[in-house]
Each structure stands twice: as structure tokens, then as C-alpha cells.
């Protein structure tokens, strides 16, 4: 039987493909209207200073060029690899799942987080992004990822010449999260509900 | 009260002035310092008494008011607790049921008696139909079990008063050394 794909989801500019990413799912769950504005109309919010700083640190980590108080963090062998796979919500119908894990190797997934507060174990264990990437790696690279390391890097804002500047404090926390086959099933279920919400939101806007 | 406070402040200022003149370097100056400390102590006691004259009736009234309202508040707290416990029991049972169902589906998927998309669809429906707790539930981290043989030293808290009490009673505690050190007392 031929498998079909729903055409309704917008194209994600980062992947040049229609589908849902982890960040789009979170936005759909919390504010479908903001998702519509951002992903369908393409009106992206201006990145905040903290977001820009996070991107800079991620780049330094993937280039293995961390400077300052932290010189090295645990890492894998495949930084910033864009991955896509299909999630089937019926035998024949699917949508694309999109994602770019910070890093991975054959057994471990690595995710880096910058912020003023270090992550807790509980927060890391409930962080669906890790399961999303483990699922993507299973479906695209056939890797059975059972462990994810979430590396939390603490930041603070200092004033330099009367301007706020974000920097790493040097405090880090590496949190180990076990990933089970059930986690991968559940995250797909979550994406399916997100997908339904996306279609509903688009339909509501078209009917207005 | 302002007048009383002014008098107290004057007395404290005098004490502070006198403090700067005290040097302890002989038996005579030691005795003078000790006498001075005793005078400071008397002043503290005097201030405490004046303070108590004002605060005691206020505290007594507060106590009476609190005693009058307490029974009603206690009853309501009990009612709240009982309803809260019922809610927690319901959510726990629901979560256990959901977990069991997810495990059952996972086992069926492993056996090959169900398709993956069917499992995911069922889990998605279960997730959609779950009770929304609306902020009425929180998770509290608790210690369920401790194996002292494995627990690293850094997580142990020393019971100082128990150790000192035992030491005074002549008990020798392995790994502990106690000694008396001098502290000023007026």
C-alpha cells in the first residue's frame, strides 16, 4: 500500500521541508497562535541576547573552540547534524519530524543548554527534546540511543561599559538521562497530538 | 514611647563611649572590664523589661485572637487535606493504569501483534484524554530509602548536641574529640 503524506504543514526554513521540530511542537502546545504567526506566516521573533549567546556557545562547542572559563565539555562525533524522518499516524499517513541534535555518537546523545539556572535531573528526564532526537537517530541512522547527556552551562549577565553582557560562570552540570523504547513511542504520540493541533490551527485561520 | 527610646539611646551611646576607653592588660583592668560588662548586661535586662511591658499585652491579645480563629482554620485545613488526598489517589491510579497500558502496548509491539502507528495513536489518545491537573498537583522530591553503608560522608549531618551530651555523660565516641574552650560571660 502506498504511504501518503499530509501536505498541510508549513515549510520549516531551517530544514527546507514541511514538518514539525521540537521547538515548533513546544510552541504549538503552549500557544498555537504564536506557532501560526511564527511557522505559517513566517514572522519569527527577534532572538534575545540570551538566545544569541546560546547559539554562539553551541557554535564554539561544535567547532571544539570553547574559550573562557570552560575549555571542554563532553561531546560526540557528529555535531549539528540535521535529521528528518516520518511519523506515521495511520498506516499510510505521515508527517515529517525535523531536528538537529547538538551532537551524538553511536550510543550517546549530547544536548547543551545555556541559562542562568542550571538544569535539574527531573527537568532533564522530562525533556522531550532528548527523546525526539533519539527517535530521529533511530529512524535515520538506525542507532539505538539509550543514554542522553544534557550538559547545562550556567550564565550570568555583567555590565561592560554600561551594556549588559552575558558570559559563562564556569559552573556546569552534566545530567544523564536513560532513554527507553517507551519514551520513543510516547514522544511520537506527543508529536501526533501536536500535528493535530497544527492542522486545527491552520484550518481555523483559513475559515476566518 | 519616643521619649523612652530617647533615654535608652542616650544610655547606649554612653556605653559605647565608655567601651572605647577599656583596655584589658592587668588584673585591675580585667576586673573593670568585667564590671562594665555586668553593667551592660543590666542595661540589656532593663531594656528587655521595658520592651516586654509594651509587647506582652499585644502578644496576649494576638494569642487570644489566634486561639479564637484556630479551630475553624484547623477544620478547613483538614477538609482541604482530605480532598487533596482523594485527588492524589485518583491521579496516581490513573497514571498507574496509563503506565500499565503503555507497557502492555509496548510488549505487544515487541511480539509483533500490533503495528507501531496503532500503538502511537493509542498513546496519543490516552495523552489527550488524561486529567488536566490545572496546577492543583505538584511533585515533591522525597528520600525513599537510605543505605548508610553506601552513603558518602558528605551527606551526613553531625548531631552536635547529642555528641556533647554524651561527652558530658562520659561516653567515649570513636572519631570524636571534645574540649572546653574559654568564652566571655558577664
Predicted confidence band of residue B130 (pLDDT cuts 50, 70, 90) = confident
Put simply, whether B107 touches A (Cβ < 8 Å) is no
The pLDDT of B145-156, averaged and rounded, is 94
pLDDT, position A109: 97
Put simply, whether A185 touches B (Cβ < 8 Å) is yes
Q: A20: which chain B residues are within 8 Å (Cβ-Cβ)?
A: none
Minimum-distance CB partner of B127 among A87, A90, A189: A189
Residues 28-87 of B with CB under 8 A from A: none
pLDDT, position A90: 86
pLDDT, position A6: 54
Predicted confidence band of residue A5 (pLDDT cuts 50, 70, 90) = low
**3-class SS of residue B128:** helix
Residue of B nearest to A195 (CA): B124
Gap from A92 CA to chain B (nearest CA, Å): 9
Q: B130: which chain A residues are within 8 Å (Cβ-Cβ)?
A: none
Q: Which residue has the higher pLDDT, B2 or B173?
A: B173
Q: What CA–CA distance (Å, rounded) separates A20 from B166?
A: 66
ipTM: 0.81
In the predicted structure, residue B184 carries a pLDDT above the cut 90 = no
Instruction: Give the residue from A182, A190, A193 with the most B CB atoms within 10 Å of its CB, the best one to mutate.
Output: A182
pLDDT, position A2: 53
pLDDT, position B4: 87
The pLDDT of A68-82, averaged and rounded, is 89
CB pairs under 8 A between A and B: 46
What are the residue boundaries of the structural domains of chain B, listed by start?
Answer: 2-168
pLDDT, tens digit, 9 for 90 and up, residues B54-90: 999 999 999 999 999 999 999 999 999 999 999 999 9
Put simply, whether B123 touches A (Cβ < 8 Å) is yes
What's the Cα-to-Cα distance from B118 to each of A44, A189, B17, B73, B166, rounded to whole Å? Answer: 35, 10, 86, 51, 67
Cβ distance A185 to B141 less than 8 Å, yes or no, reads: no
Minimum-distance CB partner of A181 among B106, B120, B139: B106
Percent of chain B with pLDDT over 90: 88
- Global confidence as pTM: 0.79
Q: What CA–CA distance (Å, rounded) separates B64 from B70?
A: 10
The maximal CA–CA distance of chain B, rounded, in angstroms, is: 98
The pLDDT of B90-118, averaged and rounded, is 94
Whether residue B39 contacts residue B12, with contact meaning beta carbons closer than 8 Å, is answered with no
pLDDT, position A71: 81
Q: Which residue has the higher pLDDT, A13 or B12?
A: B12
Q: What CA–CA distance (Å, rounded) separates A161 from A150?
A: 34
Residue of A nearest to B101 (CA): A182
Put simply, whether B95 touches A (Cβ < 8 Å) is no
Residue of B nearest to A122 (CA): B141
pLDDT, position B3: 87
Chain position carrying cell 487535606: B81
In the predicted structure, residue A104 carries a pLDDT above the cut 90 = yes
Q: What CA–CA distance (Å, rounded) separates A193 from A28?
A: 10
Amino acid at each position: 500500500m502506498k504511504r501518503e503524506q499530509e501536505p498541510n504543514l508549513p515549510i520549516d526554513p531551517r530544514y527546507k521541508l514541511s514538518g514539525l521540530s521540537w521547538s515548533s511542537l513546544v510552541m504549538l502546545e503552549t500557544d498555537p497562535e504564536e506557532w501560526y504567526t511564527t511557522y505559517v506566516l513566517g514572522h519569527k521573533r527577534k532572538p534575545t541576547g540570551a538566545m544569541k549567546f546560546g547559539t554562539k556557545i553551541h557554535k564554539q562547542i561544535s567547532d571544539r573552540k570553547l574559550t573562557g572559563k570552560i575549555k571542554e565539555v563532553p561531546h560526540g562525533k557528529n555535531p549539528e547534524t540535521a535529521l528528518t524522518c516520518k511519523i506515521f499516524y495511520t498506516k499510510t499517513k505521515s508527517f515529517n519530524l525535523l531536528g538537529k541534535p547538538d551532537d551524538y555518537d553511536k550510543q550517546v546523545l549530547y544536548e547543551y543548554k545555556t541559562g542562568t539556572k542550571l538544569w535539574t535531573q527531573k527537568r532533564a528526564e522530562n525533556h522531550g527534546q532528548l527523546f525526539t532526537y533519539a527517535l530521529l537517530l533511530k529512524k535515520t541512522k538506525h542507532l539505538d540511543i539509550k543514554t542522553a547527556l544534557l550538559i547545562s552551562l550556567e550564565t550570568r549577565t555583567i555590565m561592560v561599559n554600561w551594556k549588559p553582557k552575558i558570559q559563562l560562570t564556569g559552573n556546569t552540570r552534566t545530567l544523564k538521562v536513560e532513554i527507553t523504547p517507551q519514551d520513543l513511542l510516547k514522544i511520537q504520540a506527543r508529536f501526533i497530538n501536536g500535528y493535530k493541533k497544527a492542522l486545527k490551527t491552520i484550518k481555523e485561520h483559513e475559515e476566518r | 514611647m519616643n521619649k523612652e527610646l530617647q533615654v535608652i539611646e542616650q544610655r547606649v551611646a554612653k556605653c559605647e563611649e565608655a567601651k572605647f576607653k577599656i583596655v584589658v592588660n592587668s588584673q585591675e583592668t580585667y576586673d573593670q572590664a568585667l564590671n562594665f560588662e555586668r553593667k551592660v548586661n543590666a542595661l540589656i535586662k532593663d531594656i528587655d523589661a521595658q520592651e516586654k511591658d509594651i509587647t506582652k499585652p499585644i502578644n496576649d491579645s494576638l494569642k487570644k485572637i489566634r486561639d479564637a480563629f484556630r479551630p475553624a482554620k484547623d477544620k478547613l485545613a483538614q477538609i482541604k487535606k482530605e480532598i487533596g488526598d482523594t485527588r492524589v489517589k485518583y491521579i496516581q491510579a490513573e497514571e498507574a493504569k496509563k503506565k500499565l497500558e503503555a507497557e502492555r502496548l509496548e510488549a505487544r509491539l515487541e511480539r509483533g501483534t500490533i503495528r507501531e502507528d496503532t500503538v502511537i495513536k493509542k498513546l496519543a489518545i490516552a495523552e489527550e484524554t488524561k486529567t488536566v491537573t490545572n496546577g492543583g498537583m505538584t511533585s515533591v522530591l522525597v528520600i525513599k530509602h537510605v543505605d548508610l553503608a553506601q552513603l558518602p560522608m558528605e551527606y551526613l549531618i553531625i548531631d552536635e548536641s547529642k555528641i556533647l551530651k554524651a561527652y558530658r555523660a562520659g561516653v567515649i565516641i570513636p572519631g570524636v574529640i571534645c574540649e572546653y574552650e574559654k568564652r566571655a560571660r558577664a
